[in-house]
């Protein structure tokens, strides 16, 4: 039984977001959603991107500093993006400050003096 070859597009790596959606997994930040208001779209992906950058980048790199500013210091941008995504910004910020709380999101974190230095993101 010879099966036709799959188009090359089916063999290329799929983005984690596309893979997650295709198999029906919830967004990693859904547990921080505000009672039925969570939307796993662009705004939630922006927050997830900054968490990812803060966890994998070298401390004091430009990307690490930008992610740290957005997640921990921003007084408007972070809260606006979280509100648009339906995320409880205060609860997520608390979790980001305590990296062991991010393990359920698929982030494995190594700490050195309280700073995240090694991480792996899985979906």
Instruction: Give the max Cα distance, the chain.
Output: 62
**End-to-end Cα spacing for the chain:** 35
Percent of the chain with pLDDT over 90: 31
Question: Are 120 and 108 within 8 A, CB to CB?
Answer: yes
| Closest C-alpha among 47, 15, 16 to residue 29 | 47
pTM: 0.67
For residues 106 and 20, give the distance between their C-alpha atoms in angstroms, rounded to a whole number: 13
* pLDDT tens readout for residues 60-117: 899 999 999 999 999 999 999 999 999 999 999 988 887 666 555 554 444 444 444 4
64 versus 4: which is more confidently predicted? 64
């Amino acid at each position: 039984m010879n099966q036709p070859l799959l188009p090359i597009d089916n063999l290329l790596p799929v983005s984690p977001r596309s893979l997650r959606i295709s198999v029906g997994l919830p967004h990693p930040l859904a547990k921080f959603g505000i009672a039925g208001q969570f939307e796993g779209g662009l705004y939630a992906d922006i927050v997830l991107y900054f968490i990812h950058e803060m966890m994998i980048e070298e401390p004091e790199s430009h990307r690490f500093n930008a992610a740290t500013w957005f997640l921990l210091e921003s007084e408007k941008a972070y809260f606006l993006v979280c509100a648009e995504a339906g995320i409880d910004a205060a609860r997520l910020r608390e979790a980001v400050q305590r990296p062991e709380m991010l393990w359920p999101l698929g982030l494995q974190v190594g700490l050195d003096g309280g700073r995240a230095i090694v991480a792996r993101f899985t979906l």
